[in-house]
Every structure is written in structure tokens, then in C-alpha cells.
């Protein structure tokens, strides 16, 4: 949002190949994620749900990276703060709410897993777990499958910077490097792993690790969604061209506590948090749209009331929806044979 | 004696051992400045400095492996796994390394490490914040494994674990942290590793178990005593490796009817070994088949409240099983 | 039917399944150009190309994790762990991921991966090339585990494992590779997962086990038949998860005297569960305590020949235990 | 051996602070390791022992790195080809032979472990296992202990390039970087992990991985022992000065099959092997000594007959030595209490 196009007649987003509708949609998706997330926090505070984990301030970059993907073909392995991302690739707020309320209709897990544990086969969102970083080798395996089959499909996997210290990060990246697999590794570096600040997590730069694996590593400002888009588009093109993986380190900041179970003021100051809140890319992106005549106060009002409606409706629906029947709680340990299914 | 919460007993054991012995230190994710995600290590960094309550990178194999290295040269590390669900990345370090260091070096080297890991569900933690991984490590020669049910044992066993010359996995129960409080002596005492404890004397049925479900058994036993005049004999294994064979056989002989309980899923659990020991040693003393009441054989408990409740053991499930056994 | 070595049966199963189904491929350390350190995958890269017999970097968690990813999108990977001793770095991928993918996604996703790992000693492999890690994975809901003892089952179970819609650990026995040969049908046949097999009919004692030690039991049984007129009934579990409960109970009922054998160490092994099932279901049919003859509870076998021999099960140890049980 | 000192009056080794005796001793140790190793191969071929794993052509760099260490204070975590290294830090050929024959008196493991699995507490050689790379976090833990206690002690850990692809490499290096621990990570890159060539193991350079951990990574020619010495001396000094870890990638080549169980011609050519054999640093180092008047044909003859004697004697001794009694085969699963010990 800072740089302006040197060619005056073209906007920054047009130069990147994004239409006006695209950027408006990006903005709306960021805002949807933001409002959903805020509602999640409220619902937890009100005692309606037990737990919420937030992605606030990470959504702009999440949405931007989703827009750089092929949402018809690619495979996605998001992590628990990726609301902006999953909404952008097709999950609905209702589905997120069903997961937040742990209801049976939740497509992610039928209310078995914690919220933020995404999975949706139709959308090619690969089921994820809580132990961090295990999804990295999965993404590599999916990319290997694409290569073996000759599919023009890329897999994108994201994780926090703390999680990038797990062995699976190393093993997965290295494997993908050897075979130049179509995979994008995304480290959303928000400065903390629960209470542990970057300085106690690593002495290096996450993006620099790519050097050791023989593929490019890029650090990008997460508060600049158009730049994030550019970086991911490039990574996606490389992947499709058979040039192999890219590691992208998105620099962001976790403005909320780690989760609703955390008290972050035990390990950082309010000032530090406020400083980063001020850098929030959502109002900046709105300003960019307005500047280019793509947005107005009226549209904003319309959007906000539309989002409120969507979220209210989803909340009501999810709150009223039934839990998975306890008779079904133990199903699907293994594939059910047709005999088993009939027996029920 | 002061009454103390189970979690406080754990913290106290670490604090006192760290005061007593400079070589004791704790390391893990968020154990330093934050004092642990459950507060188990609260205050330790303030008292003992950055290194003796060390915030590590998010990497369990390194947490275990670094602790093992430090232990081999004479420190006494307590490696915290934030949740036992997250100790699997450290399996290789625990099973291939810690457990085999003394044996493979013919007693030249040793590895006095403690690995603390919170187990158990009923805390709306869902699949990966509720598991009981005991059976994965159980039966690995070279490891000791303890799993206290009371605050008294939580402190006493942690002290023993820290002082033990060999690797000890210390499975603390999350649900017990604040749900369980009992009398805990001030200062130094140790609960010996490898010794079970009779929690309740009885003549009708024997319940053998460890960790949280024993509290349900105790509640059920009281009700059965009052309502049915059935007296349950309850044995807390406390140490699950090595098992206290004598205590198991004695408790079995006492009533001839055994119910084994644990939250870890039934198949391949510690209960199978307890049952097999009895079936091998004391078959003719049995007046009923050996029963096991355990977590169901599904990957883990769901987070939705009815599903979690359905999964968890509780007083009523214990009571029903105990009654059925008594009437057998 | 042609007589075939056990290792050849494994190779044949892979080859034929790869011919039948393009989505089947094998990956692991040295499985490609070299054809495996034991030769198990010999010729597959030549026949199917680099990717379908893929040499991977030396990183077991990635081998398992990459296979899991590929399986989730419809390929049928066979991930080879060079020795089962080296599969522990992959524990987290196996237990936290493969085993829970279907359950956690409520049947939306699945993970039809096969993990092949050679187990067992007696090959002068020492501590870390001889282990039996079954008990670490046994009892993990969501996994299936097979462990063939014969070439017939080796091929038939591997075919079933590859076609199974869920993750299967396939424990092949190194000592059996060339020590065991038997008749193996040409072409397509499957041995069902979850079904045990009566290897020998008898009326006096029942031996229940899996993998290599069954061959010692068979030899001992022949001698006992000829020398003492004792007829042993021998049940090969073949699948250790899920256990074939009916077959176990039937074999128990047949003689009332049970000896359980495996090379994995006794405490916490599969044998404990088999014993516990019997003690729970069929206590009153027993005419003797349930015995287990297993590997000793030490970290692993030493490499020096007398130490290895001392550690390993063999025909004589089986015979003595079987005779003792028969005379009980 | 290629470069010559520009200051003509000082030899290359003197410039590095190595005395004439030092380099002679280095040479003798390389040769000892070589002859021991050759004997191991012979004994296996003769059926006297079951298994041997060779370090041939890797000894010169192994000896050089040992000479750069403080052999009174440092901790060593060698890997299975490190005969040159362990001999240089004090293990005897007799001890190696006892291990090769798996005899009870073997200080490494009393004949429990395979040969090449070193461990000797008095020499601060830390007991190792077969699963590769597990020793990396141990070395970090030992370095952490040194830092916590204020000991002026460094730990050195070595491993193959294949093994550097394990998660434990990443987790260990990263941990050490954060706390600037006194540890040296040594990758002995011999081009193969059993049959898998470098190109299928990684697309990067191992030494470059250090960049991502925020400490120096150095690649050094393993056939130039004096340069290897220099690099390790520097790493050692950095470690003692509190400047943190160093990753050293020693470029070498495995001229033997992986072990006596391997047939390497299944995956590489004789020519490739011969090409590397020609680069063997042992004769080159001898030439260097000779050139500087420190060596002669007579001394060589004397050395060879001395080594033959040592090795013959050790062989005879080890061959005749008893195995650990089977009654003791199951001891030391746990510490023995005094009661247990007396019971025996
Ligand atoms: C293997 C494993 N260990 C520990 C945890 C507990 N845990 C959950 S999130 C988290 C911090 C993750 O930090 P980071 O990767 O930076 O992601 P962020 O939460 O900051 O987005 C930890 C320690 C876990 N989920 N998995
Ligand atoms: C975790 C693990 N997996 C597999 C093996 C089997 N294995 C032993 S050595 C080796 C290759 C090691 O290659 P590298 O690290 O390059 O060392 P090199 O043998 O070439 O010196 C393998 C795969 C092992 N020992 N440990
Ligand atoms: Mg973070
Ligand atoms: Mg190598």
C-alpha cells in the first residue's frame, strides 16, 4: 500500500494481474475472517464455546496467498490461525461456526477436533491435527503425487515460526528440494510460539533455511497483501513450471493471546501489542481500495451489515445444531464395510 | 500436614529439588517466563534464573535429546512435554536413547533424566490434548514410568524420579491438577518407585489401577459400601514400570475378583499386563474372570461435550462394573 | 504351487500389486537402485522407474509423512523402514497422523498407507538391528498390524495390506527372509487381515504366537509328538491388530492350556493382551495358568554370539516350555 | 598439501601452531587407523568376525579434527566411521579389536553393540547408538551443561551427510544456535548414504544450512588435513569464546562399500571409486612430512612394523578374550543397587 505504481495508468493490483473485483473480494474476505474471529472471541468470553484460537492481523496475508493459488486444483494444508485462508478457498462461516460449536454437521471433523483444525476434502483442504508441523511432509507427499501423476497441482502448507523448529520441517523441505516438488512452504512468523519470542526460538531467519535445501526462501511483509500475493504467485508459477518448492516467511504479529486459554501479558507488554495493532493491514487495504475508487463508506456499511448477518445466522445455526450422536462417537476408526454400515 | 493441590505438589517437588541440588533444572516449551501452560513451573525461572527453567524452541525431540545429553554428563534435567500427546516426536530419543544408554554401554554411561508429560482427558481438549500414551512407552526395558493419582504421591514420586539414576517418565494427570487435593508433607520425602499403595481396604472385590480413574473408584467404593455393603479393595499401582508384582498378587488374593481400570485405551494397555501377571501367577485364586474397564479403542476422545463424556470413565461407570463384579 | 522364500514372497507381492495398480509405489532408504539392503525391492526400480521405487533421503519421519500425504490423495504407498529399529523417528507420523486421519475427519479423509518394517534378531545385528517394536504400535486404534510367519502369508497379507483402505504396519521378520520357504500360489490371492490360522492341530496344549518363534514351536511340536506323544495345537495370529478373538478363544478351549510366544519382550507385549482376553472371556476353560515365553525384559539383544543365543528363543526353549505346560 | 606457506621460513603446520611432533603424531595416527581398518576388513573376510564398517580415506580429516580439540576437557560424539578420531583422542587398538570381536572386556559396550559404536566415559567419548543423528541433540545438551556450569569444554559431534537429513540435526543445530552453545557439528560428507548419492539426498549444501541457524557453516576439503585442523581450531576457539556453534562439512568420499554387508558396485562404478582413491590424503601427508624433513623411508618402515605388531597383538588378544558371560548379558538395564550386586 506504500509504493505506488510508476506507470500511472495502472494500479498496483492490475500490474499483478488482479482485477478490481479480485481486490474487492480480497478485502471482503479479510473482513469476513476478522469479524468471524472477533465473534469467536466473544462467544468464548460469553461461555458459549470453550475455546477459540485467533488469527487476527494474519488474515490479510492469508487471503492474499489464497488468491494466488489455483482454487480448483491445488491442495491446502493450513494451520490453526488460517481462517482468512480457508474462507478464501471456499469454507463457509457456517462451517467454521459448526466447528467452533463442535457440532455434528461440522465438515472438518463433526465436532471431534478443536476449532482451527481444518479439513474439507471437497475443497482440497487436508485434514490437520494438533501436533504442529506434521502437515509439512504431508504437503510434500501430495506434491510428490502430483508430480508422479503429472497433475498441474500445487500444495501449500502453512505453519508458525515456532513450528518450523520441528524436525518435520527440515525433513519435509529437504525431501521436496531433492525432487523439485510443486509445494509452497509458508511460515507465518508472528513473533511468538505461545510465550516464547523469536529470539529464544532461533538465531537465524526462517527464510534463510531454504538456502540449505537448494530452493528460494523469501521474506515478505504480511501487512502488505499485494506484495504477499506477488510472492505467492511467483512461487506458484515456479511450482507449476517444475522449478520446485519455495519457502515464504510472512512477517506478521500475533496481537491476540495465543488462544483464549493464554494470558499474554505474563510475557509481553501491552505497548508491544499496541504498536503492532497499529500496523493492521485491513484498514490500510480499505484505504487502498478507496483511493482507487473501488470502495466507499456506503459499501463499507453494506459489507459490515452483510457480514453481521452472515455471522449471526451462522452462529444461531451452529448453536442450535445437534452434536454428533454419541452412538456415532466411536465410528470411523477404520473404514466401515457395507455390512457394518447396514448393521447400524 | 497442609492440604495441597496436585499441581502445586508437582511444582513444590521441582522447587525443593532445585533448591537442594544445583544440577536439577527444568526445560521445555513455555516453562520459563510463562511458568508453563498449566502453571506447573510458575515462579521457577524467577527464583532460579533463565537456564534452570529454560524456555526451549518448539521441538520435542530436541527437548528430550538435549536433556539426555545433559543428564549423561551429570546434570539432572526435567524435560517437560507440554502435553503427552506431543511427546511422540521424542519417541526415538526416549526409546532408542534414554532407555538404552546404561545397557548399551555396559554401565559406563547413564541417563538420569525425568520426562514429565500431562496425560488424560475430560478437559475439552479434543483428540490431541487428552490422550493417554502410556502403552506406547510401557514395556520398554530401561525406562521407569510413574503416574501418581494423589498430591502426596505427585510430590513424593517426582522427588524419587529426579533422584533416580535412570530415566523416568512422569505421567501427571491434567484433570487431577486442580480436581485432586490432599495432605502433602512439607519438605523432603520420597515415594519409592516400584511400590504400589493400597488406597482402600476391602474384602469383596479388588480394583487395580493408576491415575485419575482411581478417584472414581474410590467414590464408587464409598457408595457401594453404604448402599450395598460391598467393600472394595483398591490398589494404586503408582508406578507402572516396573510393576509391583507382589502388591498386585496380594491385592488379587485378597478378594479373588479383579477389575483393572485405566483411561488409556483397553487393547494393549497396562491393564493387559496386570491381567496377564495374575493369569500367570494366581489363576487358582480367581473367583471371577479378570475384568478391565478402560478407555475405548478409538483414536482419542472427541472435543464435543457429549462425545467427551461418553468416552471418559466416571464414577457411575466404575460403580456399575464394580457391582457387576461383586455380584458375579 | 512353487516353493518360495519368504523374502521372495514379499517382493512378489509388491511387484504384482505394482503391475496391477499404477497407484502403488514403494519408497524408502536404498529401495531403488540398490533394491533394498536385504534385496526385498530388487528389480522394482528397473521395472517401474525411479519414482515407483523411490530412494529417499535418510529421514524416517519424512518417509512416513510423505507416504501419508500421498496416500491421502489416492496413491497407495508402501513406505519401507530399513529396520524396524529405525522406525521410531516416524512414531509421531504413524500414531498421531496415519492412525487418526479417518477418525479425526469423520471419514472425510483416509490414509491407505502400508509401512513395512523388518523385525527380529538372530542375525548378529546387535542392539539396534534386532528389535521387535510391535508393542510400541500395538494397541493404537486406527492402525492395523500384521506379522506373517510363512511365505504364503507374507505374500497374501502384503496384498491385503496394500489394498486395505486404512494404514497397515507390516512387520516382516528378517530371520524368516531366507530361513522360511513354503508354497506360494502364483498371482493374485489375499490373506484376510484379522484372521488367525491354525498351523497345527492338537489336543494337549495350545501355542499362540506370531512370526519367527512359531517355527520353533512347530519343530518342538513334532519332537514332542514323536518323543512324548504330546500333541500341540498351534495358532498363528498373523494379524496382531485387530486380534482374532474368536480364533484365540477357540484355540484356548481346544486344550485348556495356553502358551503364548513372541520375540518382543514379555512385559507389555502382544502376549499380555492375548492372555488378558483369555482371562476375561474363558477363565473357566483353563486347566493351567496362562504362560508366556517371550524375549527377556532387557533393552535389546547383544551382538556377541553367546549373548545373542542366550537372548533368542529357539526350539529347545519352546520345547521345554511346552513340555512343562503339557505336564502341568 | 597444495598451497605452500608464503613465509618460507615457517612451515604450514607451524603457522597453524602445530609442532613437528604433532604432525608426525597425526600421520602415525592416520596410519594406525588405516591399518586397523584394513585388518578389520581382512578379519571379516576371513570369517573371524561378522561385520566391519570402514572409515578408510576419512581418517586424515578425523585425526586432524581430533588434534584441534582439547583432549583433556572436551566431549566427543563420534559416528561409526570415526576410527581415526577415537584413536586420536585416546582409544587403543586393543579396545577397538575387543569391540570388533564383541568381547566382554570391550570398554565401548562389553561386546553388546556393533563395532563402530563408540563409548568410553574416561575419554569423554559419549556412548552412541545405531539410529543415526540422535547424538546431535546429546552434544547440544552436553554443551548446554558446559555453559550452565561455566566449564571450558566443547562438544564435538560427527555424522554423515545422509544423517544430516534427519529431524534431529535440525532441532539440535537450532537449539544450539539460540543459546550460542560450545558445540561443533561435523558432517563427514562422503557422497553416499549407503547407496543413495548426494543428489538424491539433498539439493543444497550441508554447510549452508548453518545460515538458517545463525552460525557459521564451513565446507572444507577432507583430503587437506592441515586445512581441516585450521577450520576446527577456529571453531573450537569460537566455542570457547562464547561465540557459539560451528557447522563443518568435511568433503570426503567413501571408497569402501558401506559396510562388509554391502555390494557397492550395484550403485556406482569402479572408476568413480578409483578416482577418489587416488586423492587419498595419507600418502600426500607423508610426502608433506618428508618434504619438511620430518619423515623418511626408514621411519616409515619402522612405523609399519610397529603398527603391525600393535595390531597383531591386539588381534590375538581380542580373539582369545572371553565374551561377556551370558549370566551378565541381562545386567545394567537399570542401575544395580548394592543389594543386587552382592546377590550375584
Ligand atoms: C508437537 C507440538 N508441541 C507442542 C504443541 C503445543 N503448541 C500449540 S501451538 C504452540 C506454539 C506454536 O507457535 P508457532 O508455530 O509460532 O505458531 P503460532 O501459534 O505463533 O501461530 C505450541 C507450543 C503442539 N501443538 N504440538
Ligand atoms: C535412523 C536410521 N535409519 C537408517 C539407518 C540405516 N543406516 C545406517 S548407516 C546409513 C547411511 C548413513 O549415511 P551417511 O549419514 O551419509 O553416513 P555414511 O555411512 O555415508 O558415513 C543408513 C541408512 C540407521 N542407522 N538409522
Ligand atoms: Mg508464532
Ligand atoms: Mg555418507
- Residue D289: pLDDT band (50, 70, 90) is very high
pLDDT digits (tens, 9 = 90+) for C58-83: 999 999 999 999 999 999 999 999 99
Residue B62: its chain A contacts at CB < 8 A? 165
Closest chain B residue by Cα to residue A163: B58
Say if the Cβ atoms of D209 and A205 lie within 8 Å. no
* C194 Cα: distance to centroid of ligand 4 (angstroms): 41
- Rounded distance between C-alpha atoms, residue A288 and residue D154, angstroms: 55
pLDDT at B319 over 90: yes
Distance D79 CA to ligand 4 centre (A): 11
Q: Over the stretch C115-166, which tens digit does the pLDDT of each residue have? A: 999 999 999 999 999 999 999 999 999 999 999 999 999 999 999 999 999 9
Please identify every residue of A annotated as catalytic: 254, 258, 267
Q: How far is C51 from chain D (nearest CA, A)?
A: 12
Q: How confident is the model at residue A1 (pLDDT cuts 50, 70, 90)?
A: very low
pLDDT band at A339 (very low <50, low <70, confident <90, very high): low
- Measured by CA distance, the residue closest to atom 11 of ligand 1 is A193
- The pLDDT assigned to D341 comes to 56
**Pairing status of strand D155-160 against strand D217-221:** unpaired
D42 C-beta neighbours (distance < 10 Å), count: 13
Cβ(C236)–Cβ(C211) below 8 Å: no
Global ipTM: 0.98
Please name the member of C37, C85, C311 whose beta carbon is closest to the beta carbon of D131. C85
Chain C interface includes B269 (CB < 8 A): yes
Instruction: Note the pLDDT tens digit of each residue in B8-66.
Output: 999 999 999 999 999 999 999 999 999 999 999 999 999 999 999 999 999 999 999 99
| Cβ separation A131–B88 shorter than 8 A | yes
pLDDT of residue A8: 59
Q: Min CA distance, A229 vs chain C (Å)?
A: 26
In this model, does residue D2 exceed pLDDT 70? no
Chain B residue whose CA is closest to A193: B58
Q: Do A202 and D168 touch (CB under 8 A)?
A: no
| Mean pLDDT, chain C, whole residue set | 98
Extract the C-alpha cell encoding A219: 521474506
pLDDT band at D317 (very low <50, low <70, confident <90, very high): very high
Whether pTM > 0.95 for this model: the answer is: yes
Question: What is the average pLDDT across C89-117?
Answer: 98
C-alpha cell at position B126:
479434543
Share of chain B above pLDDT 90, in %: 100
Among residues C255, C251, C297, which one has the least CA distance to residue C272? C297
Separation CA B65–CA B57 (nearest Å): 13
Separation in Å, CA C141 to CA A334, C138, C207, D234 = 9, 8, 26, 52
Is A296 touching B (CB cutoff 8 A)?
no
**Measured CA distances, A298 to A295, A305, C167 (Å):** 8, 11, 55
Confidence band for D343, pLDDT divided at 50, 70 and 90: very low
Give just the sign of the alpha carbon dihedral A5, A10, A15, A18.
positive
Q: Calculate ∠ Cα B231-B236-B239, nearest 5°.
A: 165
User: Which chain B residues have a beta carbon less than 8 Å from that of C265?
Assistant: 139, 141
Instruction: Compute the distance between CA of residue D101 and CA of residue D104 in angstroms, rounded to an integer.
Output: 9
Q: How far apart are CA C99 and CA C101, in angstroms?
A: 6
Q: CA–CA separation, C129 vs D50, rounded Å? A: 14
Residues A62, C294: Cα–Cα separation, whole Å: 54
- Per-residue pLDDT of D269-284, as tens digits, reads 999 999 999 999 999 9
- What is the 8-class DSSP label of residue D103? -
How much of chain C exceeds pLDDT 70, in percent?
A: 100
Instruction: Return the residue of B nearest to A106 by Cα.
Output: B304
| Residue A200 touches partner B, C-beta closer than 8 Å | yes
CB contact (8 A) between residue A200 and residue B58: no
User: pLDDT tens digits, residue range C41-54?
Assistant: 999 999 999 999 99
Could you report the per-residue pLDDT of D5-37, keeping only the tens digit for each?
454 579 999 999 999 999 999 999 999 999 999
- C227: how many CB neighbours lie within 10 A of its CB? 10
Ligand 1 shell residues, CB under 6 Å: A 81, 130-132, 159-163, 190, 192-194, 254, 258; B 29, 58, 60, 82, 86, 89
Distance from CA of C268 to the nearest CA of A (A): 23
pLDDT in tens, B255-306: 999 999 999 999 999 999 999 999 999 999 999 999 999 999 999 999 999 9
Who contacts C53 (Cβ-Cβ below 8 Å, separation ≥6)?
C25, C26, C27, C31, C32, C41, C44, C45
DSSP string, C65-116: HHHHHHHHTT-EEEEEPSSGGG-GGGHIIIIIIGGGHHHHTTTSS----EEE
Q: Region D174-196: what's the mean pLDDT?
A: 98
Neighbours of chain B (3+ CB pairs under 8 A): A, C, D
Task: Pick from A52, A163, A202 the residue to mutate for probing ligand 1's pocket: most ligand atoms within 8 Å of its CB.
Answer: A163
Residue D8, pLDDT score: 59
The pLDDT of residue A9 is 74
pLDDT of residue D337: 83
Q: How far apart are CA A309 and CA A323, in angstroms?
A: 24
Q: State whether residue D192 is helix, strand or coil.
A: strand
- Say if the Cβ atoms of D174 and A202 lie within 8 Å: yes
pLDDT at D318 over 90: yes
Whether residue C182 contacts residue C150, with contact meaning beta carbons closer than 8 Å, is answered with yes
CB contact under 8 A, A137 and C75: no
Position C1 scores a pLDDT of 84
- Partner B, chain C 284-313, Cβ-Cβ below 8 Å: 284, 286, 288-292, 297-300
Radius of gyration, alpha carbons of chain A: 20
- Give residue A340's pLDDT band: very low, low, confident or very high (50, 70, 90): low
Q: Which residues of C are marked as active site?
A: 129
User: Does D119 contact B51 at a Cβ distance shorter than 8 Å?
Assistant: no
Grid cell of A116 as nine digits:
482451527
Q: Which residues of D touch C56 (CB under 8 A)?
A: 196, 200
> CB-based contact (8 Å) between C64 and chain A?
yes
Cα D71 off chain centre by: 14
- Interface check for B29 against chain D (CB to CB < 8 A): the answer is no
For ligand 2, mutation pick of D132, D158, D185, D254 (most atoms within 8 Å of CB): D132
pLDDT tens digits, B56-105: 999 999 999 999 999 999 999 999 999 999 999 999 999 999 999 999 99
Give residue ranges with CB within 6 A of ligand 2: C 29, 58, 60, 82, 86, 89; D 81, 130-132, 159-163, 190, 192-194, 254, 258
d(CA B149, CA B170): 12
Ligand closest to Cα of C57 equals: 2
Q: C-alpha angle C121/C123/C128, rounded to 5°?
A: 55
**Contact flag D213-A201 (C-beta cutoff 8 Å):** no
Task: For residue D163, give the ligand nearest its CA.
Answer: 2
Give per-residue pLDDT as tens, A30-72.
999 999 999 999 999 999 999 999 999 999 999 999 999 999 9
* Residue whose C-alpha is closest to residue D164's, from D182, D194, D178, D185: D185
With 50 as the cut, is the pLDDT of residue B118 above it?
Answer: yes
For residues D190 and D254, the answer to whether their CB atoms sit within 8 Å is: yes
3-class secondary structure, C146: strand
| CB-CB under 8 Å, B57 with A131 | no
Confidence of residue D340 (pLDDT cuts 50, 70, 90): low
Mean of the per-residue pLDDT values of chain A = 96
Average pLDDT, chain B: 98
Is the separation of the CB atoms in B90 and B61 below 8 Å?
Answer: yes
Is pLDDT above 60 for D71? Answer: yes
Cα of A204 from ligand 1 centre, angstroms: 19
Residues of A in contact with B299 (CB under 8 A): 333
- In the stretch 66-85 of chain C, residues with CB closer than 8 A to chain D read 85
Nearest by CB to D137, which of B69, B141, B165? B69
Predicted pLDDT of residue A344: 44
Q: Order of strands across the sheet with B239-241?
A: B53-55, B24-28, B76-80, B114-119, B168-173, B144-146, B239-241
Measured between beta carbons, the chain C residues lying within 8 angstroms of B280 are 275, 289-292
Interface B:C, Cβ pairs < 8 A: 154
Amino acid at each position: 500500500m506504500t509504493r505506488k505504481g510508476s506507470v500511472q495508468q495502472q494500479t498496483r493490483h492490475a500490474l499483478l494481474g488482479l482485477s478490481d473485483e479480485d481486490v474487492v473480494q480480497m478485502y471482503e474476505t479479510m473482513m469476513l475472517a476478522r469479524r468471524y474471529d472477533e465473534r469467536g472471541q466473544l462467544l468464548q468470553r460469553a461461555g458459549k464455546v470453550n475455546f477459540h484460537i485467533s488469527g487476527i492481523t494474519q488474515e490479510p496475508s492469508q487471503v492474499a496467498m489464497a488468491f494466488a493459488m489455483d482454487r480448483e486444483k491445488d491442495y491446502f494444508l493450513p494451520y490453526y490461525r488460517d481462517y482468512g485462508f480457508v474462507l478464501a478457498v471456499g469454507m463457509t462461516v457456517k462451517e467454521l461456526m459448526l466447528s467452533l460449536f463442535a457440532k455434528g454437521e461440522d465438515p472438518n471433523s463433526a465436532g471431534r477436533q478443536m476449532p482451527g483444525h481444518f479439513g474439507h476434502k471437497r475443497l482440497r483442504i487436508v485434514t490437520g491435527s494438533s501436533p504442529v508441523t506434521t502437515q509439512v511432509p504431508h504437503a510434500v507427499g501430495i506434491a510428490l503425487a502430483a508430480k508422479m501423476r503429472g497433475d498441474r497441482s500445487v500444495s501449500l502448507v502453512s505453519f508458525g515460526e515456532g513450528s518450523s523448529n520441528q524436525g518435520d520441517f527440515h525433513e519435509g523441505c529437504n525431501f521436496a528440494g531433492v525432487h523439485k516438488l510443486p509445494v509452497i512452504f509458508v511460515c507465518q512468523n508472528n513473533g511468538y510460539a505461545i510465550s516464547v519470542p523469536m529470539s529464544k526460538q532461533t538465531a537465524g531467519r526462517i527464510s534463510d533455511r531454504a538456502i540449505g535445501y537448494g530452493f528460494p526462501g523469501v521474506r515478505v511483509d504480511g501487512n502488505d497483501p499485494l506484495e504477499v500475493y506477488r510472492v505467492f504467485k511467483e512461487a506458484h508459477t515456479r511450482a507449476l513450471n517444475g522449478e520446485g518448492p519455495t519457502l515464504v516467511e510472512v512477517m506478521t504479529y500475533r496481537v491476540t493471546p495465543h488462544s483464549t486459554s493464554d494470558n499474554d501479558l505474563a510475557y509481553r507488554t501491552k505497548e508491544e501489542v499496541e504498536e503492532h495493532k497499529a500496523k493492521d493491514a485491513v484498514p490500510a487495504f480499505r484505504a487502498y481500495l478507496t483511493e482507487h475508487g473501488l470502495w466507499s463508506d456506503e459499501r463499507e456499511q453494506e459489507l459490515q451489515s452483510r457480514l453481521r448477518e452472515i455471522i449471526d445466522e451462522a452462529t444461531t445455526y451452529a448453536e442450535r445444531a445437534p452434536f454428533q450422536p454419541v452412538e456415532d462417537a466411536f465410528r470411523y476408526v477404520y473404514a466401515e464395510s457395507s455390512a457394518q454400515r447396514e448393521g447400524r | 500436614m497442609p492440604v495441597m493441590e496436585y499441581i502445586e505438589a508437582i511444582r513444590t517437588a521441582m522447587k525443593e529439588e532445585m533448591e537442594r541440588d544445583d544440577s536439577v533444572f527444568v526445560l521445555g516449551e513455555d516453562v520459563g517466563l510463562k511458568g508453563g501452560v498449566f502453571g506447573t513451573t510458575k515462579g521457577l525461572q524467577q527464583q532460579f534464573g533463565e537456564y534452570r527453567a529454560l524456555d526451549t524452541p518448539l521441538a520435542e525431540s530436541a527437548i528430550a535429546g538435549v536433556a539426555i545429553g545433559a543428564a549423561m554428563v551429570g546434570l539432572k534435567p526435567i524435560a517437560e512435554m507440554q502435553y503427552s500427546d506431543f511427546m511422540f516426536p521424542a519417541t526415538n530419543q526416549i526409546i532408542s536413547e534414554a532407555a538404552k544408554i546404561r545397557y548399551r554401554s555396559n554401565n559406563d554411561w547413564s541417563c538420569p533424566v525425568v520426562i514429565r508429560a500431562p496425560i488424560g482427558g475430560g478437559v475439552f481438549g479434543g483428540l490431541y490434548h487428552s490422550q493417554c500414551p502410556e502403552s506406547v512407552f510401557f514395556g520398554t526395558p530401561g525406562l521407569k514410568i510413574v503416574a501418581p493419582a494423589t498430591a502426596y504421591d505427585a510430590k513424593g514420586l517426582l522427588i524419587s524420579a529426579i533422584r533416580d539414576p535412570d530415566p523416568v517418565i512422569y505421567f501427571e494427570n491434567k484433570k487431577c491438577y486442580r480436581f485432586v487435593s490432599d495432605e502433602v508433607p512439607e519438605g523432603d520425602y520420597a515415594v519409592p518407585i516400584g511400590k504400589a499403595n493400597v488406597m482402600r481396604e476391602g474384602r469383596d472385590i479388588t480394583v487395580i489401577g493408576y491415575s485419575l480413574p482411581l478417584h472414581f473408584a474410590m467414590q464408587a467404593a464409598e457408595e457401594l459400601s453404604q448402599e450395598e455393603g460391598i467393600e472394595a479393595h483398591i490398589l494404586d499401582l503408582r508406578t507402572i514400570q516396573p510393576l509391583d508384582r507382589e502388591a498386585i498378587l496380594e491385592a488379587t488374593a485378597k478378594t479373588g475378583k479383579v477389575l483393572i481400570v485405566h483411561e488409556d485405551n483397553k487393547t494393549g494397555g497396562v491393564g493387559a499386563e496386570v491381567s496377564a501377571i495374575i493369569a500367570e501367577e494366581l489363576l487358582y485364586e480367581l473367583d471371577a474372570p479378570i475384568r478391565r474397564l478402560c478407555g475405548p479403542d478409538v483414536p482419542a476422545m472427541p472435543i464435543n461435550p457429549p462425545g467427551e463424556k461418553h468416552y471418559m470413565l466416571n464414577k457411575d461407570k466404575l460403580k456399575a462394573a464394580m457391582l457387576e463384579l461383586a455380584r458375579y
